[in-house]
Amino acid sequence: MYFAMASHFLLLGILAIICSVVLASDHSPLQDFCVADPNSPVLVNGFVCKDSKLVQANDFFFSGLHLPGNTSNAVGSRVTPVTVAQIPGLNTLAISIARVDYAPWGINPPHTHPRASEILTVLQGSLEVGFVTSNPENRLITKVLQKGDVFVFPEGLVHFQRNVGYGNAVAIAALSSQNPGVITIANAVFGSKPDISTDLLTKAFQVDKNIIYQMQSRF
């Protein structure tokens, strides 16, 4: 009796671990491919598969990563994403890519990818990169990268890049999701719709309420 109960709980534990691993990443493909059909009225976690007989080479193709992004903006950077929205054939493959252009001293501001880890390769210039570990340690792990260097940002952690050179910089980021998502911290906190309560943010950041009003007006 005891052995049977122990075996039962062991099995439940194993199943829980398996489920947690499966749910922590994109769904694995169960056929050669599942090209996304964004026009389907059916709602699923991801995208419904397009009829395989209608699939063409362009469903797996994107052109444009050789083109520099326009960095004439407040942060001095531009991300050109290539996710399932740009390549329908990425559906269920758990990968995507992006080009990031940086003006001199431009930044890719602190942000997270809620559904993906990221591996960044510098193609041109010098980048200061870093991420912050979770509470309570909140340890900053940072490094200056040169052309050809590679750095990894673990899934869900706040991270950033800054061009520390005097010329333009370019990097390619590969991500472990067809749709990694991005949450830019400042935009989310100070630019939410509707606004997060000013009293709440004043207490959270331990600053004067007028500073919160000023920050919210910028986003």
Is it true that the peptide bond before 114 is cis, omega within 30 degrees of 0?
Answer: no
pLDDT band at residue 10 under the 50/70/90 scheme? very low
Alpha carbons 19 and 69: distance in angstroms, whole number: 40
Structural tokens at position 187:
């935009």
> Does 8 belong to an annotated binding site?
no
Answer yes or no: is pLDDT of 43 > 70: yes
pLDDT (0 to 100) of residue 25: 64
Q: What percent of the chain has pLDDT over 70?
A: 88
**What pTM did the predictor assign?**
0.85
CA angle 111, 114, 116 (to 5 degrees): 100
Q: What does the pLDDT average to over 29-37? A: 90
Q: What residues does each domain of the chain span?
A: 57-181, 183-218
CA angle 49, 54, 55 (to 5 degrees): 70
Q: What does the pLDDT average to over 171-183? A: 97
Answer yes or no: is pLDDT of 69 > 50: yes
Highest mean predicted confidence (pLDDT) among 4-13, 33-42, 152-161: 152-161
- CB under 8 Å to 117, separation ≥6 — which residues? 152, 153, 154, 155, 175, 176
Which class is 57-181 in CATH?
A: mainly beta
> Does 111 belong to an annotated binding site?
yes
SS3 of residue 11 by DSSP: helix
Q: What percent of the chain has pLDDT over 90?
A: 82
Phi first, then psi: give them for residue 48, nearest 5 degrees. -70, 150
Answer yes or no: is pLDDT of 156 > 90: yes
> Does 113 belong to an annotated binding site?
yes
Is it true that the peptide bond before 194 is cis, omega within 30 degrees of 0?
Answer: yes
Q: Give the CA distances from residue 76 to residues 106, 115, 147, 163, 168, in Å, rounded to whole numbers and listed in that order.
A: 4, 25, 19, 9, 10
Q: What is the pLDDT of residues 72-87, one digit of tens each?
A: 999 999 999 999 999 9
Q: What does the pLDDT average to over 52-57? A: 96
